[in-house]
Amino acid sequence: MKTKMSIILVLIMVLTNSCGFFDDAFDSVKENGFVADISSTTEFEYLVFAEQDESFLAIDQENGIPVRTIFKPSAHSEAYSIWFDCNGYPEKIVKDGYILLLSNYTTTCFDLAIVSPEGEISVIREVNIPADKLEYSKLKSVDPSDVLRWTAHIMGVVTCGASVIGGTAATVTSLGVTAPVAALLISLGCGTTALSVATEFISDEQIADITGMSAKTLKSFLAITKCTLGDLSTCLGGSLGLFMGTAADIVKYREEEIKLAQGSLDGGYGDVQVTLSWDSSADIDLYVQDPMGEWIWYKHKNAQSGGWLDVDDRDGFGPENIFWQKNESPSGNYQVYVQHYEGGSANYSVLVQAYGRTKQYKGFISPGGKTYITEFSKTFLKSGKIQPDDIELPSLRKN
């Protein structure tokens, strides 16, 4: 995998570091960068390149909505992949083996979950959107210039917001973010020239066709990329496509962790949040006992202590989610169990986020089985199994 990724990054660095030869075709574009139409040679529509910091952005769009991009913040940083949701907001980033999930956008913030290369999950709520990034409120039209501006704008919102959190997390341990994750967030880049070029793009006429290069420029392009005129489409498109394909492989390998992290993002949260997902169509149930001994489960979704089962899945795969809002959870010990109701066996994952601590638990459960997961309070979150599975749980019968 490392060798494959290295080859891809070399190809992309060759392309971006040599983009000065496109200047002949972009006389009308800003001096510090240009935009090219690469739709005839790749699966992407546009390539934005800034000579000042050698940052670049390859954009794929559909009906005026960005679908995916490859972004390289600077000459000294690695390129990474971004996927967008149906509204044109970034929903998934793959960088350095990490997978970032973005959700719950508002005009002031968004939520972020991070899956590490080892499968560990971190969740950061309410990442602030920098005030100077609110210039565009929505995608104005499907015109290329508006698509470019919107894509650059929303990427600036995400990368700058995450970079600020990364810088803060490097010194504020209460955020529960590890040093590698903080460094990752900072490395996403903020204020790069390529985003500025795309954001300030004005006229669709400034977009040039890559095939419109002069003979001299084309000759240089072929020499530097080791491509030939006959395989230009395959060569250029292949390098970008291979990069996205490798990122997609990373996503597929961590699909169970992604499902659990997304379930956490979609569920209610606060001082305490417990999320369950599993890998089959079986009906698996989540139980949490509060410090007063009251169980929260599918037939008793609201506890007097404020705990709430807000997501109860009965069709398989999950998620299920139980939480206490901020400053509303009672002091004392909580216990977490998983119980199999019906269907076949399943592998399960439970994410416990309690008072700034986060831990993930995995296991296998057979039909009719029940499994102790963990115990926690405001001062501890246990990592090992300390209780028997034969505790008496509330009735299995469902309505």
CA distance 263 to 213: 48
**Position 92, amino acid:** K
pLDDT (0 to 100) of residue 61: 92
Is 260 a member of any domain?
no
Q: Does 54 map to a domain?
A: yes
Q: 187, 222, 254 — which closes off a domain?
A: 254
Is 94 in the same domain as 241? Answer: yes
Decide: 280 and 346 in contact? Cβ < 8 Å. Answer: yes
Q: Is residue 271 part of a domain?
A: yes
Rounded CA separation 252/290 (Å):
36
pLDDT digits (tens, 9 = 90+) for 91-146: 999 999 999 999 999 888 899 999 999 999 999 999 988 765 544 445 566 677 78
Residues 241 and 295 in one domain: no
| Contact between residue 66 and residue 147 where contact means Cβ atoms under 8 Å apart | yes
Q: What are the distances in angstroms from CA 103 to CA 85, 98, 267, 340? A: 10, 17, 11, 30
* Rounded Cα–Cα distance for residues 318 and 288 (Å): 16
Q: Residue 204: inside a domain, yes or no?
A: yes
Instruction: Tell me the residue range of the domain where 322 lies.
Output: 267-376
Per the CB < 8 A criterion, the answer to whether 395 and 299 are in contact is: yes
| pLDDT for the residue numbered 336 | 96
**pLDDT above 70: percentage of residues in the chain:** 72
The token pair that represents 83 in the structure block = 């996927």
Q: What is the pTM of this model?
A: 0.84
Answer whether residue 190 is part of any domain. yes
180 & 274 share domain? no
Where is the domain boundary, 224, 254, 284?
254
Buried b (16+ CB within 10 A) or exposed e, 260-288: bbbbbbbbebbbbbbbbbbbeebbbbbbb
Three-state SS for the chain is CHHHHHHHHHHHHHHHHCHHHHHHHCCCCCCCEEEEECCCCCCCCEEEEECCCCEEEEEEEECCEEEEEEEECCCCCCCEEEEECCCCCEEEEEECCEEEEEECCCCCEEEEEEECCCCCEEEEEEEECCHHHCCCCCCCCCCHHHHHHHHHHHHHHHHHHHHHHHHHHCCCHHHCCCHHHHHHHHHCCCCCHHHHHHHCCCCHHHCEEHHHCCHHHHHHHHHHHCCCHHHHHHHHHHHHHHHHHHHHHHHHHCHHHHHHHHHHHHCCCCCEEEEEEECCCCEEEEEEECCCCCEEECCECECCCCCEEEECCCCCCCCEEEEECCCCCCCCCEEEEEEEEECCCEEEEEEEEECCEEEEEEEEECCCCEEEEEEECCCCECCCCCCCCCCCCCCCCCC
Residue 230 half-sphere exposure, CB side, CA atoms within 13 Å?
0
Of residues 305 and 172, which shows the higher confidence score? 305
Q: What was the pLDDT predicted at 134?
A: 45
Q: Assess whether 187 and 317 both reside in one domain.
A: no
Mean pLDDT score of the chain, rounded to an integer?
80
Contact 338, 365 (CB under 8 A): yes
- Looking at the structure, do residues 101 and 196 belong to the same domain, yes or no? yes
Tell me, yes or no, whether 248 and 273 share the same domain.
no
Residue-level pLDDT at 223:
52
Quick: pLDDT tens for 76-99: 888 899 999 998 899 999 999 999
* Of the candidate ranges 23-27, 90-94, 108-112, 182-186, the one whose mean pLDDT is the lowest: 23-27
Residues 224 and 249 in one domain: yes
- Give the number of domains in the chain: 2
* 280 and 158 inside one domain: no
Domain for residue 384, yes or no? Answer: no
Torsion of CA 297, 301, 305, 306, to 10 degrees: 130
Q: Which is more confidently placed, 143 or 325?
A: 325
How far is residue 350's CA from residue 88's CA, in Å, rounded to a whole number? 30
Is there a single domain that holds both residue 190 and residue 111? yes
The answer to whether residues 250 and 271 belong to one domain is no
CATH assignment at residue 369: 2.60.40
15 shares its domain with 108 = yes
In angstroms, what CA-CA distances link 269 with 28, 191, 350? 51, 32, 15
Cα dihedral 117/119/125/126 (nearest 10): 30
β 33-37/208-209 pair status: parallel
Is there a contact between 114 and 181 (Cβ–Cβ < 8 Å)? yes
On whether both 319 and 243 belong to a single domain, the answer is no
Residue 342 pLDDT class (50, 70, 90 cuts): very high
Among 196, 230, 254, the domain boundary falls at 254
